[in-house]
Homo-oligomer: A and B are copies of this chain.
C-alpha cells in the first residue's frame, strides 16, 4: 500500500520525479466555494525557489509555474479534485548520469533500490527535494482555507550550522534568504555557509513553526492525535530527523510542577504543551508549537525549500483536522 497520500478529509496525493515530465499534487476534499487562483499557489512556490537563495543559490533555475488542471471554476473551488501540475523545464538529466552507478551517502539511492529493485537515478528521482513542490502547492490551498478561519502558519530558521538566533522577530523573516527572524544572525549564518561550501561540506539547522488562531478541539484520539499527525507530517520531509512539540525533549528534565501549564480563567499561564493536551488543541496553539530539526546534506539553497514545506505540512494537517472536527461537531 503506497504512501503518497496525506490527510483523511482534506487529502492530498503528490506525484513526480526530479527529472520526469512534471511534479504535482491532486487535492481531494477541499470544500467548495473557496476563492482560488494559480497566483495564490504561485506565491508560495516562488518562496521555495532555489534562486531565492542569493549568492549561494543552486544553479538550477526552475520557474516552477503551477497550472490548475481541475477543480476550480470561475475563481472558486467546486468541491471536486484540484489537480496541480508543475512541468519540469530545466532538468538536465544527462548531468546526473554519473549517479547511475553510485549510491550517495545520506540519500535514498540505496534504499529505493532495495525496496523497488530498480530506481530513477536522475537527481534522486522521487526522493528529491523537488518532490516537495507538490506539497507546497497543495499547502497553499490549505493556507487559504485556514485563513478563512483566522489560522496562520509561519516557519522560520532558528539555528543553522551551530549558530542560533538571538531573537525571534517575525517581522525580519522575509528580510533574509534564510527566513531567519534575526537579520544579524542570518548574516553570520550566510557567512558560515559560504565558508563551509568552499570546503565542499554542508550544514544542518533547526526550524520552528508557529500556528496562531487555532481553535480548541482539533485532533483525534488516540492514534491520530494532533501532535502525532504533526510529527508524521514533519518527519515525512526529507532530512528531518527530530520533531518536538512545545517544550519537547526539555520536558524530560522538568518536574511536573514546572512543565504542566497552569489553567487560568483567561487561558494557560505557559505553553509547554505546545498548545496540545492529550492530542487535542487547547486553543493556545500559539507559541513554539513545533521545532523541526533538519540534518544531513544541506546548504543555503535547502532553506528556502524546507521552510515553505514545513508550513505546507502543518497547514495541510490543520486543514484536515479542522474538517474532521466539523464532521462530529
Residues in chain A within 8 A of chain B (CB atoms): 1-6, 8-9, 11, 13-17, 20-24, 26, 28-29, 31-33, 67-71, 73, 76, 78-83, 85, 103, 105-108, 110-112, 114-120, 122, 125-127, 131, 159, 161-162, 196, 201-206, 216-225, 227-236, 238, 241-257, 259-263, 272-274, 276-283, 293-298, 323-329
Contacts and interface: CB of A to CB of B under 8 A. Distances in A.
Contacts of A125: 73, 78, 80
The 3 closest A-B pairs by CB, nearest first: A251-B295, A108-B278, A3-B224
A105 B263 CA distance: 6
A286 to B, nearest CB: 15
12 contacts: A2-B9, A15-B81, A21-B68, A80-B125, A106-B261, A114-B280, A203-B255, A203-B256, A224-B236, A231-B232, A241-B251, A242-B251
A14 B256 contact: no
Contacts of A119: 73, 78
B15 A26 contact: yes
A84 to B, nearest CB: 10
A5 B28 contact: yes
A130 to B, nearest CB: 11
Contacts of A283: 114
Given A1-B327, A106-B273, A242-B245, A217 B83 contact: no
Contacts of A249: 206, 241-242, 244, 249, 293, 295
A105 to B, nearest CB: 4
Contacts of A71: 15, 17, 20
Nearest to A106: B260
A15 B70 contact: yes
